[in-house]
Structure 1
Amino acid sequence: MSFPKNFLWGAASAAYQIEGAYNEDGKVPGIWDALSAGHVKHGENGNIACDHYHRYKEDVALLKKLGVKAYRLSVSWPRVMSGPDTVNPKGLEFYSKLVDELKAAGIEPMVTIFHWNLPMWAHEKGGWYSEEISDDFANYVRVLSDALSDRVRYWFTVNEPASFVGNGYFTGMHAPFESLMQAQPAEMMTKLAALTKNVLLAHGKAVRVLRSRAKQSPQIGMALNGSVYLPQSESTADVEAARALTFPEQAFFPHFNWWADPAVLGRVPAVLQPFFTAEELKIACQPLDFFGFNCYNSSDYDEYTGPNPAVKPGMARTTMEWPITPDALYWASRFLTERYHLPVMVTENGMANIDFVMSDGAVHDPQRIDFVKRYLAGLQHAVDERIPVMGYLYWSIMDNFEWAEGYDKRFGLIYVDYQTQQRIPKDSFYWYADVIKNNGLS
């Protein structure tokens, strides 16, 4: 099973989940640093995480051993900006050194500008409710562009707004742990619309900054997540039914079209129309080079609104309790390219598994190998149909802090002993290295 010669095989991570060094070298608190106490299993936090801040050279050496062509990292806004207009030079220097290390290893650095850890100084001004946040974000992007764009070509403005808005401000599961679920419908929609608009304005302004200031021609996208539904068969009626569920006319924040229709097509779902001016929509809608999407499973088995008859007792799930649905990458790639007419990149896919060091000193994870093998077969189906798939980034390169789940859920290709910070490549690491070497499944 062969992929295009220029296919970007890679892996991904996020700053707060791996870096640690939460209060070193001028870094100021973010919302996960300051607010997560009492909201994370076992009382854990990301203060140390994988200590990547101090061990980045070791980690890049492992990425090189893996053979990845690309690595999606994220920059910590509170590490780089200690205020709206105040740059922290040591924080910026860390990312410059990390990018240099990746380039020296022959790995394409891909930068996610915002991956959830909002600075507390921004939160105290209202967070994503603040009308100032999109300009503050644009200032931050100017700093990153000026410092890194001579070596960084691939940029992701925001990661999973459906999650950091939905879980951060709607359900209250994630920082800043605020919940709109008990609000009256009118208030709920007004506040959700404000959050959505400010995220989209921040995205649009970031794209404008990168287009005008980057030192080489940038490749810009977002890393979106959303509901994907699988058709019962390949009949036209079933495919259209699945498409309608994936992009519903009555969209809500968990749907791709809530975010991507404004950003890519320049239109907003009907319920949002009263909240956007024509000028705001013009700012939010900027030309993108690709559509990045995070996909772990289809939504056919969701039970958010009550029992789902499709859910069968004992069906295959990961340790996150997410169903294993290998065709999700195929249908997501197909539906997204058909709607948005952009090349797609799988910016996250992977599984949490029960991983531990076994008696032979190794970490054997055959379930993960089989999971990725099945999902890549779905992605191969898309490639075979000439759907423009640019790359696949496994989530994640190493075990890390899994937000409110703490450290129990292990997604990594590399096992991390959090007491010693020892890294142990799992069987899946070596298997994925072989996939990359062969440019597909052998």
Structure 2
Amino acid sequence: MKRRDILKSGWALGTGLAVSGPSTMLRAATDSAPVAFPQNFQWGVATAAYQIEGGAREGGRGPSIWDTFSHTPGKTRNGDTGDVADDSFHRWRDDIALMKQLGIESYRFSIAWPRIQPSGRGPANPAGLDYYKRLVDGLLDAGIRPFPTLYHWDLPQALEDAGGWPNRDTADRMTDYAQIMAEALADRVTAWSVLNEVKTFTQAGYWDGGMAPGRKDPLAFLKATHVANIANANAFHALKAVNPIVQVGSAYDCANCFPATDSDADKAAAARWDKMINLWYLQATLTGTYPELLPADRQAELLGWQPGDEARLKVPLDFVGINYYSGWRVWDEPKGNGIPNLNTRAEWAWSPRSIGKSDFGWDIDPPGIRQILKRMQQLTGSIPIEITENGIADNTPPGSDGRIHDAKRIAYLRTHLKELRHAMDDGVPVRAYHLWSLMDNFEWAAGYSQRFGIVHVDFDHGQKRTPRDSAFWYANVIKTNTVP
């Protein structure tokens, strides 16, 4: 499909959204006037290596913790794995062409660490480097900003076998990996994100066990948070050492915390949870210190703190990435949860302002993106912000006309983008938005059951890509720099 046809279709959708029947969210999305974004605002999409690449045993790639986890019976929906995923390892040229047709300006993707260092240490794998060099050059040729994330959850299995993120040596291995990538790409990649959602990959990986590597050890989780924060700073310095003018940040998943009741105990619990999920990582990076949460006389022991760590943690990020989806409902938990002093019980993807649910069952709260941006700006101040992820699972199947009329996703995007613009009017310095996701993918433990893409992928028939109505709508937003 040519770009003019995509934009023509997108314009039609932008003026008439009732393609799947009326809904409360759809009506709410069409009630307000169009809003324009600044001329220099960047519009992008996001993906992650293990979720789209496939080629799991090709090009010298080693196994990651997600290869191990997904091949362990009972860990993922239907036993799904990322062995093939979207086959972007072979189809990256098609994906770039599709992004160019849609007018995408920035592509946030991740680099698979085990494709670069199969065992997480030692010299670079030339075939892995060549793959990402070709990808970056293809993006630049298409006029799209390459925006790589160094780590999006696919730790080389050999490093997990050596202790994983709770092992302080992993931070040093991250330094070597970042230096390899900087020497390969920092001459033409100007913006880098180091870690994606350190809260999620440490909490879900080491505390509750729902994601790779599937460990359930609260104390290992605490050490993992500290090591990952040090690794973040180490990679920052490694990238800057190769090219001081590159911009370096990380992507943080942030969420509003709502007390389950009006009780003082639940309000205090929500405040504690906010410190844990919203401040624990970013505050450590920006200030070298953690929020007051753990027992002061045990914090060093619980984190594995060493002399000089305050200086090791602190770096002046050039930008902050914010991922936003939903909120948390929080209760006080007097019996504790394994983390000293935290004493909370929390339910993800809930909001008292919910205007509906995604097909994943997550509460939809558009004003929440404005609220969390203003909340985080209390810490980030004038540091530029990029929305590095925001989107919805909408599993609407293809219609009889062959098109996919994902009206819920369009309404979701419209409401969230307008709230984002309001946050910018409030003074939050947001400079870019990356929609999650370019295309359907392996959605971690949920396998292929949830579809976040503006491009439908037919996993049963050769990974055929079909742009949804939301892709046409988003293309029109980019073209006009306006949300209708």
- Aligned pair count reads 420
1:61 to 86, 97, 103: 97
- Which of 165, 170, 181 pairs up with 1:133? 170
SS in 2 for 1:205: helix
Once residues 301 and 434 of structure 1 are traced to their aligned partners in structure 2, the CA distance between those partners, rounded to angstroms, is 39
Deviation for aligned residue 1:306: 7.4
How is 1:5-24 mapped onto 2 (pairs within 5 angstroms)?
A: 5-24=39-58
Amino acid aligned to 2:464: Q
Deviations 1:106-159 (A, max 9, x none): 000101000001101111111112221111110000000000111111111100
In structure 2, runs of 5+ residues without a counterpart are 1-34, 260-265, 333-343
Q: Which residue of 2 aligns with 1:33?
A: 67
Contact 2:255 2:372 (C-alpha < 8 Å) held by counterparts: no
Contact 1:28–1:79 at 8 Å: present in 2 too? yes
Aligned CA distance change for structure 1 residues 230 and 194 (closer, same or farther; 3 Å) = closer
The residue that corresponds to 1:434 in the other structure is: 476
Distance 1:132 1:356, change over 3 A: same
Residue pairs, 1:34-113, within 5 angstroms: 34-36=68-70, 37-38=72-73, 39-83=75-119, 84-113=121-150
The answer to whether 1:266 aligns with 2:288 is: yes
How do residues 281-320 of structure 1 correspond to structure 2 at under 5 angstroms? Answer: 281-300=310-329, 305=345, 316-320=356-360
The DSSP-based 3-state class of the residue aligned with 2:431 is: strand
1:71-108: per-residue Cα shift (whole Å, max 9, x none)? Answer: 10000000011231121100111000000000000000
Per the alignment, do residues 339 and 428 of structure 1 end up closer, same or farther by CA in structure 2, a change over 3 Å counting?
same
Task: Give the letter for the 1:19 counterpart.
Answer: E
The residue identity in structure 2 corresponding to 1:204 is A
Contact 2:354 2:363 in 1 (8 A): no
Could you list the per-position Cα deviations for residues 257-302 of structure 1 after superposition, in whole angstroms to 9, with x for gaps in the alignment? 0111110122112317424345112111111011111001133589
Equivalent position of 1:238 in the other structure: none
Contact 2:358 2:364 in 1 (8 A): yes
Aligned residues of 2:147 and 2:192 also touching (Cα < 8 A): yes
Judge conservation of contact 2:359–2:393 (CA < 8 Å) in 1: yes
Kindly report which structure 2 residues correspond to 1:360-439, keeping only aligned pairs within 5 A, or say none: 360-419=401-460, 420-439=462-481
For structure 1, the residue ranges without an aligned partner over 5 or more in a row are: 181-187, 232-241
Distance 2:445 2:111 in 1: 20
Question: In the alignment, residue 162 of structure 2 is paired with which amino acid?
Answer: K
**Equivalent position of 1:147 in the other structure:** 184
Provide TM-score, normalisation by structure 1. Answer: 0.90
- 1:224-246: per-residue Cα shift (whole Å, max 9, x none)? 11332479xxxxxxxxxx99887
TM-score by length of 2: 0.82
The answer for the alignment partner of 1:324 in structure 2 is 364
- Counterpart amino acid of 1:108? R
Matched position secondary structure for 1:64: helix
Q: Does 1:218 align with 2:246?
A: yes
Instruction: Answer whether contact 2:285 2:315 (CA < 8 A) is retained.
Output: yes
Q: Which residue of 2 aligns with 1:174?
A: 211
Cα distance in structure 2, aligned partners of 1:177 and 1:350: 26
Matching residue's letter, 1:318: S
Secondary structure at the counterpart of residue 134 of structure 1? helix
Deviations 1:383-403 (A, max 9, x none): 222321111100000000000
Percent identity of the aligned residues?
35
The AA in structure 2 aligned to 1:260 is: L
Query: Which residue of 236, 255, 266 corresponds with 1:207?
Result: 236
Find the residue that maps to 1:127 and give its secondary structure. Answer: coil
Q: Distance in 2 between matches of 1:355 and 1:56?
A: 25
Give 1:181-260 correspondences, 5 Å limit: 188-189=218-219, 191-214=220-243, 217-229=245-257, 248=271, 253=276, 255-260=277-282
In structure 1, distance between residues paired with 2:191 and 2:326: 25
> Which residue identity is paired with 1:104?
D
- RMSD across aligned C-alpha pairs, in angstroms? 2.4
Does structure 1 retain, via aligned residues, the 8 Å contact 2:389–2:435? yes
Q: Give how far 1:355 is off.
A: 2.4
Structure 1, 328-337 or 145-154: larger mean CA deviation: 328-337
Any idea what the Cα deviations from partners look like across 1:322-366, whole Å, max 9, x if unmatched?
101001211122111222212211100000012222111111100
Query: 1:338 — aligned with what?
Result: 378
The alignment partner of 1:24 has SS state of coil
State the match for 1:235 in structure 2.
none
